[in-house]
Chain A
Amino acid sequence: MSLAQLLLNGLALGSAYALVALGFVLVLNATGSINFAQGDMVMLGGYVAIALARLLDLSGLAVLPLVTLAMAGFGLLFSMLAWRPFRRRPPISGLLATVALGLTLQEAMNALEGAAPQAGPTLIGTGEIHLGPLGLSRASLGILVACLVLGSAQGWLLGRTQFGRRLRASAQDPVTARALGLPVDRLIATSFALAAALAGAVGLLLSGPYFVTPTSGNDLILRAYVAVTIGGWGSLKGAVVGALLIALFESVVAGYASSVVATASLYGLVLVLLAVRPAGLFPEPFGRRA
């Protein structure tokens, strides 16, 4: 494959990782704590999309709003289980609660659907689009477009709206935010719902080209975690850049050498990067959260 083609593939793959990382950052910015079940939510979103498309006999595009709505409801439920009881405890308890719930989710889907990979609906049909010598599948195009739309929507929501300002204020100092009359708990539940809805959309997008298995969330959350950390804890821009960097290695380095070399050099680079920039590529301006 040509370098340009590998770069294009990397861009599409990186967009998918970026969408997972953005959901992770949304909860991180709202609560200061980590949702390690974000990858499993993407997996669940994929299965929900498959079930709905099968049940209602609809195309991917038509199923999209239903999946996001259903997953938003799941996000509310998830915040009641994984966040509310743990909000006054050390952050590590909440983190492990999301790990335990994610594990439960994986095993539940394994019992319901089995471990075999399943293909979901595609967003805008199948087949390739040719741009000169380069080919891009319609599924990848869908992911690229979705990443642009959803990513900028999230950036706008957090950075430019009153909701986003309140969310960031309540994460930085929940006590003061409460004293100022902000409905902190409701804001946080909303951000979980948004993150889950985002996961639903990503699950649908990925289920077409990459299939879904009960454990497919594990690889995604690992990449999201790496992307968010090397990008700079809590930075949206950093998360996207980090995700693209990972995908670049998985596509270009793996294309020229092998996937083993790609993984080894990626994590080698991560170690070097951390030694040089101990707070990530785009360090947060304010104090670090646990």
Chain B
Amino acid sequence: MKAFVRPAPLVGLAIAGWLLVVVATGSGYEQRLMALAASSALMAIGYQLVFGQVGALSLAQGACFAIGAYAAGILGGRLGWPIWLELPAAILLPALLAAVAHGPVRRLDGHYFALATLGLAVLVRLVAVDAQGLTGGANGLIGVPPLPVGWLGLSRGAGTMLAGWTLAGIGAGLALWLKRGGNGPTLALVRDDPALARASGLDPGRIRTQGFVLAAGFAGAGGALQAHVLGLVSPDVAEFSVMVGCLAMVVIGGRGSVAGGVLGALLIGHLPEWLRPLGSSYRIAYGLGLFVCLLVAPAGLVGSLERFWPRRSMPAPLAVTTSLPRPDAVLRVDGIGKSYGGIAVLHGISLELRPGEIVGLIGPNGSGKTTLINLVGGQDRPDRGRITLGTARLDGLSADRIARAGIARSFQSVAVPDAMMPTDLVMAALAAREGRAGFGHALAIASLRGEAAALLRRVGVDSDCPLEGGSVRLVDIARALALDPAVLLLDEPAAGLDPAERDRLGTLLRALATEGRALLVVEHDMVFLMGLADRIAVLLDGRIARAGTADEVRADPRVRAAYLGEPSA
């Protein structure tokens, strides 16, 4: 029974009740309003996938809605296609366009992505208003046939409304199915920290493509439904206000939540009607109402409602056996160099890491240690040189492919996204290992949780404790280990740990090397590193000044000069 107290089923029940009341009272106006709300709900549900789940500010959702409406107007109205042929076309057309358009803009982030999608929206609007022959221009299209609902035995208005909400219900179910299971943490990491997601082996570009294309399909269905309800297509459907309305729906309803998108669509659809008693000033109240919603319900309507419910109980973690270590492979860094804005940071670094070996990397601030790790981990591209793991060449590959190929890294400063628990972060990386994480790819959440808990235990973190101090860095190491890497790059893992934690970390790193993993450890703490590393490389001004055992390095006059300020003889 408990499952029915979740927002989605509850909102579903409430809407079903509402629809029954509207059918019973038989108000044609309200039926039409509800049918239109169903079309917006489809657009908003889809937008939750790209904006709510993946966090990409797409401004093309309104345009996709318009394409759906015009598809219905042209194919269903002018060409007389039957609904079972026309509706799939209205869904596929915007989805196809989104898939094609996303290719060139795949690399774009944040507002550059938003602008690219805005550009698409402007071009769609231009076609709607100016391609007279195709879209009817400013006159739009008339004669879109009503939905064939006569066999229901209800009035046309009631039948259309129920058909619309059936469509919206199917859409909601599909959206819930797409983001089910272990995809939650994966999508949250892609949304909140794309760089960390990439380092964890996830490909934010691919997941965003999926979200963008799916969202376009949902919008197309919504647009087609609207055209059938209205019986016409007006070029207003391509105006930017549709997009702003869609944004308002998902934010007011609750970002990321399917039920929130539906609630937002109902609210925005009815607000003008409910405010009508205010007379001509109702539009001012509409703007203010939006503002007040944003002010008082920051997590949206669903977020506000959820505060009254107990937290969802998580499935119990399954006990798991640790997976087998990866095949041994030697990491070879061969003459890589990097300059930023004409200033050379690394000059031809060569380095070899053999399985089971711990190599320490030391050097003063600004000597290029983190840059080297960034180049090997794929966070940045080397200007020259090659990087190979076993026989696979890795330089120039994206960070997520490098991570999945077996090179994982931790970060010097990590900020675990606010809403994520340590388990979630590790689960996201575990999901990435399979290489297919994303929408609709079901993951066994119980076994993922089990594996994540085991990894966190291994680094010595309690998975249910809030993060503080140095433990964030340990969680980051657990995240890197989730990829089961052959090579582990650690950027100052011991910083911020107390002596006891430091000892435990040393033991852990030793154990990891014994499993056959190669470790490259950047560290300022010489004492920690001297006791741990098999070999130490010293980076001075972008060159490896010395590599050897701890004693050899310690005896080198240049190292002493750089570290202890002694004049080099």
Contact = CB atoms under 8 A, between A and B. Distances in A.
B287 A280 contact: no
A96 B112 contact: no
Interface string A81-121: 10001100110110011011111111110110000000000
A233 interface: yes
Given A103-B287, A104-B287, A260-B126, A267 B119 contact: yes
A226 B281 CA distance: 32
B110 interface: yes
Q: Is the interface of A mostly helix, strand, loop or mixed?
A: helix
A40 to B, nearest CB: 10
A38 B61 CA distance: 24
B291 A100 contact: yes
A100 B283 CA distance: 11
A229 B291 contact: no
Interface string A209-232: 000000000100010011001100
A107 B126 contact: no
B115 A270 contact: yes
A287 B283 CA distance: 40
Interface stretch (B100-108, B470-478, B501-509, B524-532): B100-108
Nearest to B57: A92
Interface stretch (B3-11, B88-96, B244-252): B244-252
* B interface, size bucket: 35 or more
B283 A110 contact: yes
A263 B122 contact: yes
Contact of B104 (A99, A102, A275, A288): A275
Contact of A226 (B107, B118, B120): B118
A278 B107 contact: yes
Given A226-B118, A271-B104, A278-B108, A264 B123 contact: yes
A179 interface: no
B568 interface: no
Contact of A271 (B111, B114, B119): B119
Contacts of A133: none
Contact of A229 (B104, B111, B281, B288): B111
A100 B294 contact: yes
A86 B295 CA distance: 8
A267 B41 CA distance: 29
Interface in B94-145: 104-105, 107-112, 114-116, 118-120, 122-123, 126, 130
A268 interface: yes
A104 B116 contact: no
Contacts of A4: none
A93 B110 contact: no
A153 interface: no
B49 to A, nearest CB: 16
A274 interface: yes
B112 A278 contact: yes
Given A92-B57, A111-B281, A270 B287 contact: no
B220 to A, nearest CB: 21
Nearest to B107: A278
Contacts of B119: 267-268, 270-271, 274
Contacts of A180: none
A254 interface: no
A114 to B, nearest CB: 11
A101 B291 contact: yes
A144 interface: no
A149 to B, nearest CB: 29
A102 B248 CA distance: 14
A290 B417 CA distance: 14
Contacts of A263: 122, 126
Contacts of B126: 260, 263-264
B18 to A, nearest CB: 26
Given A100-B287, A264-B126, A290-B110, A274 B248 contact: no
A288 B115 contact: no
Contacts of B280: 111
B298 interface: yes
B344 interface: no
A70 interface: no
Contact of A93 (B108, B114, B288, B298): B298
Contacts of A96: 247-248, 251, 290, 294
A232 to B, nearest CB: 10
B115 A99 contact: no
Contacts of A111: 280-281, 283-284
A268 B123 contact: yes
Nearest to B340: A285
B536 to A, nearest CB: 31
A243 to B, nearest CB: 14
Nearest to A289: B110
Contacts of A270: 115-116, 119
Nearest to B125: A263
A103 B112 contact: no
Residue of A229, A230, A260, A268 with highest tally of chain B CB at under 10 A = A229
A277 B491 CA distance: 31
A21 B119 CA distance: 18
Residue of B108, B115, B126, B248 with highest tally of chain A CB at under 10 A = B115
A270 B107 CA distance: 15
A31 to B, nearest CB: 14
A231 to B, nearest CB: 11
Residue of B109, B126, B284 with highest tally of chain A CB at under 10 A = B284
B283 A288 contact: no
A274 B108 contact: yes
A74 B122 CA distance: 32
Interface in B291-322: 291, 294-295, 298
B159 to A, nearest CB: 35
Contacts of B112: 229, 233, 274, 278-280
Contacts of B247: 96, 99
A260 B105 contact: no
Contacts of A104: 284, 287-288, 291
Contacts of A85: 295
A93 B112 CA distance: 19
Given A263-B122, A290-B110, A225 B115 contact: yes
A86 B296 CA distance: 11
Contact of B284 (A86, A90, A107): A107
Given A271-B116, A274-B115, A278-B108, A97 B291 contact: yes
Contacts of B248: 96, 99-100
Given A96-B248, A270-B115, 16 more contacts: A34-B111, A93-B251, A96-B247, A99-B290, A101-B287, A104-B288, A107-B281, A107-B287, A108-B284, A110-B283, A225-B115, A229-B111, A263-B122, A263-B126, A271-B105, A274-B115
7 contacts: A99-B290, A111-B283, A218-B240, A226-B115, A229-B114, A260-B130, A278-B108
Report the 3 A-B pairs with minimum CB-CB distance, sorted nearest first.
A104-B287, A103-B287, A100-B290
